[in-house]
Structure 1
Amino acid sequence: MIKQPNSDYCFVCGRNNPRGLYVTFYDNGRNEVTATHTIPEAYQGYPGVVHGGIVAALLDEVVARVAMIGDPHHFMMSVKLEVKYRHPIPTETELTAVGRIVRLRGRLGKAVGEIRLPDGTVAAEATMTLADVPAEILASANLEALGWQVDE
């Protein structure tokens, strides 16, 4: 598995965000991104259950990161994210998030993802339409200032 970069202050992957999730992502070099992570109680909606917005944020990140497979500087953003919540997701439980490429062609793409419970049950799933980040935004991006790097 190939470790993907993190930034400093991204809510999901940021290593220095005091309120972030601190998730680390890996890809298989072909078509899939994965992360194994435990969501703390601080991010609950109902007692002991991860807030749905946190679930959507994790899915948004793992699914969009499929664009970076083979090129950690190929940034795409969500155009449409559809989430289906299948089962309550418990806090303080190791989860597996997976994103898979359906189609990446030109400046648009489609990908899917899921969050699995420890027993393999799919607790939430997502479908996403992605688009390349506009060139004018990338032109002004300073990846070094963002802390965009693979942590050892």
Structure 2
Amino acid sequence: MGGSLDRPLRLEDEIDHFKSIPWCAKHLEAPNLVVTPGFSRDPRAQEPLFCETLRTKDTIAAFVCFYPRPESELDFLPELKAFVTLGNLVGGYPGVCHGGLVATLLDETLSFLGPRHRWLQSRDKLNHDMLKAYLHTDYLQPVKIPGTFLITARLTKKNGRKSYMQGVMEDENGQKVAKADGLFVELPKGKM
């Protein structure tokens, strides 16, 4: 893994990275699958933490989200998944990912369930933004680095402007290493 990227990986490069890992490739074979960069990883989001600072071979080498194509681009998804490959420079302890980054990755994936985050090109069609009201994270096992992980995010309840979500982060053996519960609230257009 060493050193920063000479150039940012294109989405196709990140997809190819995960397709080269057999256990990840199995997930990406589903029909009618949408594969996209995480919201903050997309340069259109203009969020430097994921787009620049954490976009190196030694930090977050690759990160994609994937889900079955919904009937409407404005639909909330009941579930989506993400792959992330973490390098050696995200450690809080030698060989273990910093807990703050684990929570950030769960937050990033959960927030992607909202339609605004999935469809950047459709901003004019949407009448709201979403903000996190809370995120509770439980650390179940050390997140060993370097490594590749699967994050599954689920919408558990929708009540008006409130979306309750759960996320689980697993290693390549299906061992749960962290989980999170969050509440995300839609704001009326122009309130952000």
> 1:100 is matched with which residue: 151, 154, 162?
154
TM-score of the aligned structures, taking structure 1 as reference length: 0.77
Residues 42-99 of structure 1: CA deviation (Å, up to 9, x unaligned): 1110001000000000000111111229962564221110000000001111100110
Q: Report the Cα offset of residue 107 of structure 1.
A: 1.3
Q: Does 1:125 align with 2:179?
A: yes
Listed as ranges, the matches of 1:1-150 within 5 Å are: 1-4=33-36, 6=39, 7-8=42-43, 9-10=46-47, 11-12=49-50, 14=51, 17-20=52-55, 21=60, 23-28=63-68, 29=70, 30-68=77-115, 72=119, 73=123, 75-137=129-191
Whether the aligned pair in 1 keeps the contact of 2:111 and 2:117 (CA below 8 Å) is no
For the aligned residues, what is the CA RMSD?
A: 2.3
Whose helix fraction is larger, Structure 1's or Structure 2's?
2
User: Does the C-alpha gap of structure 1 residues 114 and 69 become closer, same or farther in structure 2, counting only changes over 3 Å?
Assistant: farther
Q: How far apart are the structure 2 equivalents of 1:105 and 1:36?
A: 29
Which gives a bigger RCO, structure 1 or 2 (Cα 8 Å, sep 6+)?
A: 1
Larger radius of gyration: 2
Q: How far apart are the structure 2 equivalents of 1:34 and 1:69?
A: 17
The total of aligned residue pairs comes to 135
TM-score of the aligned structures, taking structure 2 as reference length: 0.62
User: Does the C-alpha gap of structure 1 residues 70 and 95 become closer, same or farther in structure 2, counting only changes over 3 Å?
Assistant: closer
